[in-house]
Structure 1
């Protein structure tokens, strides 16, 4: 149906079948769709800047997209 992998997490956990790869696929779908907004927010956040979260996410995006 229209439910996402993350919405079905509870039922899958009870069955011991949480789909980690499916959840990661959805997560990176969101990152791909909202990349600029996410990177801007990470750059503006003091804690994220301190831990270089934007740079780390950009590295992961590069690995996932094969452009690193």
Structure 2
């Protein structure tokens, strides 16, 4: 499993979530299903210290100002 941060944007509202999944593609699929119509962007650089993890899930990590 991997963990990446993804920016979710709908119009002027955006926030970041941490997603744990089998792959980056799967992480985007999970978020796309939970946030239809939103723009999704993987946040780079990816933190090598927390990239490999156990389990699958989604966690909101920080609000972002519009």
Q: TM-score, normalised by structure 2?
A: 0.26
Q: Which has the higher helix share?
A: 1
Higher relative contact order (CA 8 A, sep 6+): 2
The structure number with the bigger radius of gyration is: 1
Q: TM-score, normalising length from structure 1?
A: 0.26
- Choose between structure 1 and 2: higher strand proportion: 2
